[in-house]
Amino acid sequence: MRVLVTGAAGTIGSVLCGGLVDRSHTVAGLDLTPEPEGFTGDWFTVDSTDPDAVDAVFAALSRSGGVDAVVHLAGHPGEGSLPDELESHVVTLAAVLDAMVKYDVNRIVYAGSNHAVGRTPHGDTLLDTAARPRPDTFYGVAKVAAEALLSLYVDRYGLDAVSTRIGSFQVEPESRRQLSTWLSHDDAVRMFEAALTAPDPGYAVIYGVSANTRGWWDLEPGRALGYHPRDDAEHFADRVPADPERDAAEDAYVGGPFAGEQFHRPALDSPLASPAEN
């Protein structure tokens, strides 16, 4: 499969590109930054908020054999104003989707976020993908809006679209909360490959986490698409020190600290810390 990965130089993108190549896929990369050393496929240094530039990437790929699918990771990982978040996560997605329709690319896998449901109180039952969106930040709001845009394009143009609500993408968990929300590097590659190759998913949402003993989210939607995580954050539990005050605060909502009052601010205010990959 020939895959275009946007945000290919980012934390997830750099891991995913190498993982897909190792699994015999051909990868083209798109990012704001120049081509990383050692990247083996086509590379496009492009701003994804520019629809003409995105269109030109798809045109170039079309001339060289086309592309079968897109993994859309591009977007600023920080919590900014509401307009900035919508531009970074919804406008960029719209540019990609319009190009996909124009150049007959029918599959997209989107880097959604656990922060789309981050304001959901943490309970004793697994949170499934049918739960209503409850974003914890403007970043989370943009991720919810992006899923709505994907749904529209699935219904309007018959695309296949999978949103992967990614938890804590780390080499290993760094907090008690992350023992529940961790997504390992290897499982991330397994998840994206499953979403890229699952037959006829239509519109689907899955939780992007590993098979954590303390997991909070229902993994069955991912398994239905062929994502079978193998890693468990419990392996690292003895390396993560307890911090009762912090752990209690992070346990209250599934979004952890990003559901806290420090993120309560006007929609048009200045940027704060990043909720992404947490």
Dihedral angle of Cα 8, 11, 14, 20, to the nearest 10 degrees = -90
Catalytic annotation present for 253: no
C-alpha span between 41 and 31 (Å, rounded): 13
Dihedral angle of Cα 187, 99, 142, 14, to the nearest 10 degrees = 30
Token duo for residue 15: 């891991």
Q: How far is the CA of 50 from the CAs of 2, 130, 148, 225, in angstroms?
A: 23, 33, 21, 32
* First vs last C-alpha separation in the chain: 30
194 three-state secondary structure: helix
Q: Please tell me which residue in 103, 110, 139, 203 is annotated as part of the active site.
A: 139
C-alpha span between 81 and 64 (Å, rounded): 39
Tell me the pairing of strands 26-31 and 107-113. Answer: unpaired
C-alpha span between 105 and 56 (Å, rounded): 14
Closest C-alpha among 77, 168, 171, 190 to residue 114: 168
Beta strands in 52-190 (DSSP E): 69-72, 107-113, 160-166, 168-169, 182-183
Closest C-alpha among 226, 192, 213 to residue 126: 213
Q: Which residues have C-beta within 8 Å of that of residue 168, sequence separation ≥ 6?
A: 174, 177, 178, 181, 182, 183, 209, 277, 278
Token duo for residue 268: 């048009």
* Residues with catalytic function: 139
